[in-house]
Each structure stands twice: as C-alpha cells, then as structure tokens.
Amino acid sequence: MESITEAAKGTGNLMDAAVEASRARCTVGEISDAMEKVFSRYAATIRMVSGAYKSAYGDNSEIANVMERVNFYFIHCSNATLRNMSRICLIIFT
C-alpha cells in the first residue's frame, strides 16, 4: 500500500502500483484508501433541479392535467395502504 501512496504523490507509476497490489490480492477498498491519503475522497455536489421537463412543454394542458392528478394523489391518497394504491391510481390516472 505504501507504493500506491508514494506513486500517488508523483514518485512512480500509479497504475502499475495498483495492478501489482491487485495481483497481491489487495482489495479495491485498500487500494482506494492508499490513494485517498494523497488525493482525498471525492464529494459530489448534490443539487435539486426542478421544472426542467415542464418548461420544455411550455403551456401545455396535458402537462397541467398530469400535474393536477399527481397533486391530487399526494393530497388525498398518500396515507392509503399499498393494497388500495393500485385501485386508486387506476381511478386517478385513467
């Protein structure tokens, strides 16, 4: 694992060190941990996007109808049991 950490610092071939560690039966987690000492762990930025599909349709009555039905479902049916949900969905969405 030290050879991977050193290679990650730029003193060697990281790919070669990782392949050799794999041949020695090191796990991906162990190899990642050795590299993390130099590179740190990636942290994705999570952000919410809303309205992307709706804006593509513009003022479309079909989309407005679907949104109205979905809102109705969440207002009136969110406490329904799973058994009744399929029947409720058939009534609302057909």
Quick: pLDDT tens for 13-50.
999 999 999 999 999 999 999 999 999 888 889 887 77
Question: What's the predicted TM-score (pTM) here?
Answer: 0.47
Residues 6+ apart with CB under 8 A from 80: 88
Sign, CA dihedral 9-14-16-19, equals: positive
How far out from the chain centre does Cα 28 lie?
Answer: 20
Instruction: Please classify residue 56 by burial: count the beta carbons closer than 10 Å to its beta carbon, then call 0-12 exposed, 13-18 middle and 19+ buried.
Output: exposed
